[in-house]
Amino acid sequence: MTQNIYDTTEFFEGYSQLPRSLAGFEGAPEWPAMQAILPPLTNTRVADLGCGFGWFCRWAGEQRASEILGLDVSENMLARAKEMTSQSNIEYLRADLEELSLQPDSYDIVYSSLTFHYLANLDSLLANVYQALKPGGWLVFSAEHPIFTAPSNPGWISSSQKRTVWPVDQYLVEGQRKTDWFATGVIKQHRTLSTYLNMLITHGFNLKHLNEWKPDSEQIRLQPELAQELERPMFFIAAAQRL
């Protein structure tokens, strides 16, 4: 079972105060890039893996998706999601994504935001997602970029030239990374970009788009601190299709 850090009080209280938790897409600067590669949602059946507070599920409802399933391991997050949701075609279920078994040939779109880097057994999840999609269906997901997850000491450093750099090491040493983020010992899985993409390809997906997210100039104008995100990618977004 995946570490359920979201249900520890310390982590949940911190995480709940993040812009993306309070304001949803308004606080998630990568959302416009993700939205841009999503297919139209009207009359689609959608699953959201790691739905959190349900921001995407409610947005999918507004886009007139016909049925929306939000899955998450965190009881706290699902409870908050349900409180904020009034649409009747959205269902939230607690699930361990590493042991997921979605119905075959059922979904038009499987979506997942910043969840896959927590899963050790991503391979079996992707196998399940592939068969759960209808032919022509889409998997659109984001995850922390391997440049961001790799370092043994993830944090900006000032090099001797007085530039601020991101200290990459262990990029090709895949596996668990422990970081302190709202709580100590948050466990992530570091995988290279090629491992993510080859997993998709091996399961039969056709890679249609990859985005190593960066802020655009308008976002930097409004939030100057985002300029630092040009130095190294924090997230990547991928869109892949079942043929």
Instruction: Answer yes or no whether residue 160 interacts with its own copies by CB under 8 A.
Output: yes
Q: Would you give the binding string for its own copies spanning residues 21-40, x where CB under 8 A is met?
A: --------------------
- Structure-token pair, residue 161: 């030239």
Distance CA 155, CA 139 (A): 31
Distance CA 89, CA 64 (A): 10
Instruction: Answer yes or no whether residue 79 interacts with its own copies by CB under 8 A.
Output: no
Instruction: Answer yes or no whether residue 98 interacts with its own copies by CB under 8 A.
Output: no
Which one among 114, 120, 127, 168 touches its own copies, defined by CB under 8 A? Answer: 168
Query: Quick one: residue 172, left, alpha or beta (phi over 0 = left, psi -120 to 50 = alpha)?
Result: alpha
Count of residues binding its own copies (CB under 8 A)?
A: 39
**Residues 211-230 interacting with its own copies (rule: CB under 8 A):** 211-212, 214, 229-230
Query: Of the two residues 131 and 228, which places its CB atom closer to its own copies in the complex?
Result: 228
Which one among 14, 32, 39, 167 touches its own copies, defined by CB under 8 A? Answer: 167
Q: How far is the CB of 229 from its own copies (least distance, A)?
A: 7
Query: Of the two residues 1 and 162, which places its CB atom closer to its own copies in the complex?
Result: 162
The strand pairing partners of 142, in sequence order, are 237
Q: Please provide the distance, in angstroms rounded to a whole number, between the alpha carbons at the two ends of the chain.
A: 31
Instruction: Answer yes or no whether residue 165 interacts with its own copies by CB under 8 A.
Output: yes
Distance CA 188, CA 118 (A): 5
Instruction: Answer yes or no whether residue 199 interacts with its own copies by CB under 8 A.
Output: no
Instruction: Answer yes or no whether residue 147 interacts with its own copies by CB under 8 A.
Output: yes
Alpha helices (H) along 24-157: 31-37, 55-62, 75-84, 122-132, 146-149
Q: CA of 49: how far to CAs of 164, 180, 216, 224, in Å?
A: 35, 24, 27, 32
Per CB under 8 A, residues contacting its own copies are 147, 151-153, 157, 159-161, 163-173, 192-194, 197-198, 201, 206-212, 214, 229-233, 236
